[in-house]
């Protein structure tokens, strides 16, 4: 991540098209079966607005599991991104707080873990419980 991108809090992760997900009560349905291309292993997308109180980061791990986190660093409040080639997430600020895939702080100035959500696969789609 470049210095200026970090200074501006710009992440590499892109938002998922609003047509591919929905919110009902405390559940988010991500329509993986309707995606033109599957989310690559190690890749992530984020969901925002459409009834969400806070953005959600959805990650596909290298071992083909899906994880979801509140997309808000507990130190600077910026978005988080997966770290390429590692089982970690990093804050998009200059401080670069780093978290493991359980949401725990690994290094950096963050004191609290990321909020992690339960994810289930159902009929080729994801159901995230907020």
Q: pLDDT band at 10, cuts 50/70/90? A: low
DSSP class of residue 95 equals T
pLDDT score at 123: 87
Question: Domains, the chain, ranges and CATH?
Answer: 3-129 (2.102.10.10)
Mean pLDDT for the stretch of residues 80-100: 86
Is residue 109 classed as helix, strand or coil in its secondary structure? Answer: coil
Query: Is the per-residue pLDDT at 3 higher than 60?
Result: no
**C-alpha to C-alpha distance for 130 and 123, rounded to whole angstroms:** 19
DSSP class of residue 32 equals G
Mean pLDDT for the stretch of residues 13-26: 95
Q: What is the pLDDT of residues 63-84, one digit of tens each?
A: 999 999 999 999 888 899 998 8
**C-alpha to C-alpha distance for 99 and 128, rounded to whole angstroms:** 20
Query: Is the per-residue pLDDT at 1 higher than 90?
Result: no
Average pLDDT, the chain: 89
- 57 half-sphere exposure, CB direction, 13 A CA radius: 29
Query: Is the per-residue pLDDT at 54 higher than 60?
Result: yes
């Amino acid at each position: 991540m470049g210095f200026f991108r970090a200074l501006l809090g710009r992440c590499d992760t892109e938002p998922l098209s609003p047509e591919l997900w929905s919110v009902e009560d405390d559940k988010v349905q991500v329509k993986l079966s309707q995606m033109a291309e599957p989310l690559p292993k190690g890749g992530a997308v984020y969901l925002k607005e459409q009834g969400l109180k806070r953005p959600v980061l959805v990650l596909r791990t290298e071992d083909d599991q899906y994880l979801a986190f509140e997309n808000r660093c507990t130190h600077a409040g910026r978005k988080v991104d997966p770290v390429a080639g590692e089982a970690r997430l990093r804050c998009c600020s200059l401080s670069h707080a780093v978290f493991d895939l359980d949401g725990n702080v690994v290094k950096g100035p963050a004191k609290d873990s990321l909020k992690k959500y339960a994810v289930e696969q159902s009929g080729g789609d994801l159901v995230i419980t907020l």
